[in-house]
Amino acid sequence: MGQVFCCVQVDQSTVAIRETFGKFDDVLEPGCHCLPWVFGTQIAGHLTLRVQQLDVRCETKTKDNVFVTVVASIQYRAIANKASDAFYKLSNTRGQIQSYVFDVIRASVPKLELDSVFEQKNEIAKAVEQELEKAMSAYGYEIVQTLIVDIEPDEHVKRAMNEINAAARMRVAANEKAEAEKILQIKRAEGDAESKYLAGLGIARQRQAIVDGLRDSVLAFSVNVPGTTSKDVMDMVLVTQYFDTMKEIGASSKSNAVFIPHGPGAVKDVASQIRDGLLQATTQD
């Protein structure tokens, strides 16, 4: 209907290319324009000024002979004051951009090993962007942003990399576990040593208390019972302790059978043996 009344509408973020008898005439901005078609004027086409995105998948080989697929995302748009160049100079803009991306990636990645490709993906993206800006500006296009969004090694390589990482983490975990066990054993040994030291102090104090108690008992008995000697008192104390011990053994439900000499004459031998054993232990201490 607009062509009948010689009027045409150009949408926002779009420009129209006007030709007169097949020759470029002007670039029409968004809005309504008079188009006297009777004088050979017509719209050759429209060109969007919006930012467009092209995802390019490029397979190449690294320096250490690993095949990877690099996915680059190119964001570009036509320059308004170069709309005629963008419209007439390129017939396949996306194909042209893709060719430049292939060229730069396949020139950059083979110089790097696989780990370096991951580490230097920003440098690769920058190299692609610089090459595209230099090439596409002559055709009326601006490169807004270039991103390396993915680097995909071969499936076998990815599996091997995951196994390497898993082994490294297991090695670290094993070292940490061994260190923890080492610390635990050291602490256990220190605790055992401290326990034995304290137990030794307790035994020594116990023996000292027994000796002091026996000495006081002997002195008190000698004073209260005239005519008795220290040897008599010690024999009586030892025999008393001996029978107390036998009573405790008999009262225990878990004690084993103990065979001892019995009879009136054996008491003296028991007292002598106990006394000699204690004296030897005291001498050794």
pLDDT for residue 144: 93
pLDDT-derived band at 160, boundaries 50, 70, 90: confident
Q: Does residue 216 have a pLDDT over 60?
A: yes
The least confident of 44-53, 84-93, 142-151, 272-281 is 272-281
Q: For residue 17, what are the β-bridge partners?
A: 27, 45
Distance CA 156, CA 154 (A): 6
**Average pLDDT, rounded, for the chain:** 81
Return the pLDDT at 2.
46
What pLDDT score does 208 carry? 81
Least confident of 12-16, 93-97, 179-183, 235-239: 235-239
What gap in Å lies between CA 239 and CA 139, rounded to an integer? 121
Query: What does the pLDDT average to over 88-110?
Result: 90
pLDDT digits (tens, 9 = 90+) for 221-262: 667 766 666 666 666 667 777 777 777 777 766 666 555 555
SS (H, E, C) the chain: CCCCCCEEEECCCEEEEEEECCEEEEEECCEEEECCHHHCEEEEEEEECCCEEEEEEEEEECCCCCEEEEEEEEEEEECHHHHHHHHHCCCCHHHHHHHHHHHHHHHHHHHCCHHHHHHCHHHHHHHHHHHHHHHHHHHCEEEEEEEEEEEEECHHHHHHHHHHHHHHHHHHHHHHHHHHHHHHHHHHHHHHHHHHHHHHHHHHHHHHHHHHHHHHHHHHHHHHCCCCCHHHHHHHHHHHHHHHHHHHHHHCCCCCCCCCCCCHHHHHHHHHHHHHHHHHHHHHC
What is the separation of C-alpha 192 from the centre of its chain, rounded to a whole number of angstroms? 36
The identity of residue 114, as a single letter, is: L
pLDDT at 141 over 90: yes
Cα 78 from Cα 15, distance rounded (Å):
10
Binning pLDDT at 50, 70 and 90, where does residue 215 land?
confident
Q: Tell me which of 164 and 53 has the higher pLDDT.
A: 53
What percent of the chain is predicted at pLDDT more than 90? 19
Residues 134 and 141: their CA atoms lie apart, in Å, by 10
pLDDT at 282 over 60: no
Residues 96, 70, 67, CA angle at the centre, nearest 5°? Answer: 120
CA dihedral 48, 52, 57, 60 (to 10 degrees): 90
pLDDT of res. 279: 57
- Top pLDDT among 267 and 36 is at 36
Residue range 187-216: mean pLDDT, rounded: 82
